[in-house]
Amino acid sequence: MDLGLRNRVAVVTASSRGLGRAVAEALAAEGARLALCSRDADAIRKTAEIIGDNYGVDVFAAPCDVTDPSAVEAFAGEALRRLGEVHILFANAGGPPPGIVQDFAPEDFRKALELNLLSTIGLVHAFMPAMKRLGWGRIIASTSITVKQPAPNLALSNVSRVGVVAYMKTLAGELASHNITCNTVAPGYILTDRVEGLIAGMMEKSKMAYEEARRSITAGIPAGRIGSPEEFGSLVAFLASERAAYITGETILIDGGAYRGLM
Ligand SMILES: NC(=O)c1ccc[n+]([C@@H]2O[C@H](COP(=O)([O-])OP(=O)(O)OC[C@H]3O[C@@H](n4cnc5c(N)ncnc54)[C@H](OP(=O)(O)O)[C@@H]3O)[C@@H](O)[C@H]2O)c1
């Protein structure tokens, strides 16, 4: 299937590693040109260099903390100057720390909302005008299975991400007539540094060996395994493609069947 992504321009944030990087690679493999950012300038430049070399596409990279509105504005301005247009936005950020509600102060919830909800809103507002001018766009927000099913030790994630679903659903209705789709992806466990960190935390807290900690995660996943970043990248590349033009306002799980609800 030709995804029709050749020479499309895609902005992928929080992409020096993990899910963002996997999305950048999946889009580059389809011939998309990229604008990438993360906070660490060296890490994002190195990732951009590797992707540019491996896939032969233009990659613009700059440091940007997506929780900082002025940094987002500067990144968007520079990305548009360098690449001329923007067709696709994958709005992604880091995850808040694990823990239960009682571990956190109200200030921690405010920070989590800045990281996961307000960063998405800021990124959309920075790039949406360019898509409206083109009359074509794909906005994909990164959240988590926690928007469907709260996780016991991820209180900040449970609370800070659901607003993204409401925001994207609302936006989808407003932008459909501009030929811009707005969807949300909700991963379960995908093997990135963040999940390796969660496994390390379990090993320390419960005095488990690595394989035992991993098994305690996969026990809750009908597919019997943790997902790969490449599988996640493929889902986002499809949603970003010409082929997904009639899918909008959706929240799509990628979790090996871990979510137990009906809808
Ligand atoms: N992996 C999973 O199974 C899974 C499941 C559900 C939800 N999620 C969520 O999906 C998102 C990505 O997860 P991941 O597994 O890819 O995490 P990861 O492996 O820890 O990678 C995080 C990436 O985000 C960048 N980043 C972090 N904070 C940022 C900020 N404020 N501004 C810009 N870039 C930032 C990091 O680079 P710098 O350090 O250079 O900024 C890095 O490139 C997180 O919100 C995570 O909670 C992941």
Query: Residue 90's pLDDT is what?
Result: 99
- Identify residue 95 by its one-letter amino acid code: G
- Residue with tokens 């405010």, as numbered in its chain: 110
Select from 92, 117, 145, 149 the residue to mutate for testing ligand 1; criterion: most ligand atoms less than 8 Å from CB.
Answer: 92
The predicted-structure confidence for 35-79, as pLDDT tens digits, reads as follows 999 999 999 999 999 999 999 999 999 999 999 999 999 999 999
Question: Higher confidence at residue 146 or residue 205?
Answer: 146
- For 229, how many CA atoms within 13 A lie in the half-sphere containing its CB? 18
Domain ranges for the chain: 9-188+229-251, 191-226
CATH topology for 9-188+229-251?
Rossmann fold (3.40.50)
Nearest CA to ligand 1 atom 8: 144
Query: Residue 17's pLDDT is what?
Result: 98
The predicted-structure confidence for 183-237, as pLDDT tens digits, reads as follows 999 999 999 999 999 899 989 988 999 999 999 999 999 999 999 999 999 999 9
With cut-offs at 50, 70 and 90, classify the pLDDT of residue 131. very high
Query: Residue 123's pLDDT is what?
Result: 98
Average pLDDT score over the chain: 97
- Percentage of the residues of the chain whose pLDDT score is greater than 90: 97
Beta-carbon contacts of residue 118 (< 8 Å; ≥ 6 apart): 67
Query: Residue 213's pLDDT is what?
Result: 95
Is 192 touching ligand 1 by the criterion CB < 6 Å?
Answer: yes
Please measure the distance between the N-terminal and C-terminal CA atoms of the chain and give it in whole angstroms.
29
Is 144 touching ligand 1 by the criterion CB < 6 Å?
Answer: yes
**Helix spans in 138-179 (H):** 155-160, 162-175
Q: Which atom of ligand 1 is nearest to the CA of 194?
A: 20
Select from 11, 12, 15, 17 the residue to mutate for testing ligand 1; criterion: most ligand atoms less than 8 Å from CB.
Answer: 17
- Identify residue 18 by its one-letter amino acid code: G
